[in-house]
Amino acid sequence: MTIDTATGLEAPPELSSERVRDIFSAIARKYERFNAISSFGAYKLWLAGMMRQAPIAEHHDVLDIAGGTGDVTFTVARTKHPAHIQCTDLVPEMLDVARMHVDEGDGAGVPIDFQVVDAQDIPYEDAAYDVITMAYGIRNMPDRPRALAEMFRVLKPGGALVCLEFSTPPSRIWRALYHFYLRHLIPFWGGLITGDKEGFVYLAKSIRAFPGQEGLAALMREAGFAEVTWKNYTGGIAAVHVARKPE
């Protein structure tokens, strides 16, 4: 079943996919500034935590799904120095910004390639990658089971999917602050920085409609991943899920 990622209700896949393309193509050059300001700089800490959980070695070939402007790709390059990174995204304008960062030296000497890819139909061979990284991507995919099954397919036996995503704070106080932040501050900062307040209203809705930690873990297990763990950050506002494919 495909869903409307803003509500979690059944809907044609084109509804969400086209909306995501429209929003992110329009804000691509301002997206990094939005992340920095709206998270009060915490997104850097979340990325650092993601790298601590990521089982990436120097001989690995890494696939970055929903790589956007390259935040995860370049963090992997700087901290893990793998043999190669394939950075992919649904929106070409986001990858254009990532390519500019490579020209500025952000690739840390790691070979990085870019390709427009729909993660629900990954155009790579079975067992092609050692590790897959993904930050804030699965939430925007209308067919999440299919996307996770595709990631499982292209991972080598024993490979890992490392996913950073907004999740549900376990504390009642944090949950109240979190929902205020989503309902009011995300659209405010988004509108102020990019001029597209409505696009960020959608993003806030998609976060609220997204399954919590255990819900995402269950989807990963259903896709075939044998071992799924997660670690919360900032009271559960961001969580890293690590899902391993059986040997």
What's the length of the chain? 247
Q: What is the largest CA-CA distance in the chain?
A: 48
Residue-level pLDDT at 104:
92
119, 143 contact by CB (below 8 A) = no
Residues 15-44: what's their mean pLDDT?
A: 86
Classify residue 155 by its DSSP letter.
E
Higher pLDDT, 242 or 42: 242
Q: Is the pLDDT of residue 177 over 90?
A: no
Half-sphere exposure of 108 (CA within 13 A, CB side): 17
Residues in Cβ contact with 194 at an 8 Å cutoff, skipping those fewer than 6 apart: 26, 27, 30, 31, 34, 200
pTM, entire model: 0.94
211, 230 contact by CB (below 8 A) = no
Query: pLDDT band at residue 171, thresholds of 50, 70 and 90?
Result: confident
Percent of the chain residues topping a pLDDT of 90:
65
Q: Is the pLDDT of residue 175 over 80?
A: no
Backbone angles phi, psi at 168, to 5 degrees: -90, 120
Query: pLDDT band at residue 85, thresholds of 50, 70 and 90?
Result: very high
Q: Is the pLDDT of residue 42 over 90?
A: no
Angle at 93 between CA 78 and CA 185, to 5 degrees: 80
Q: Which residues pair with 132 in a beta bridge?
A: 63, 161
Q: Is the pLDDT of residue 6 over 90?
A: no
Residue-level pLDDT at 146:
98
Residue-level pLDDT at 174:
79
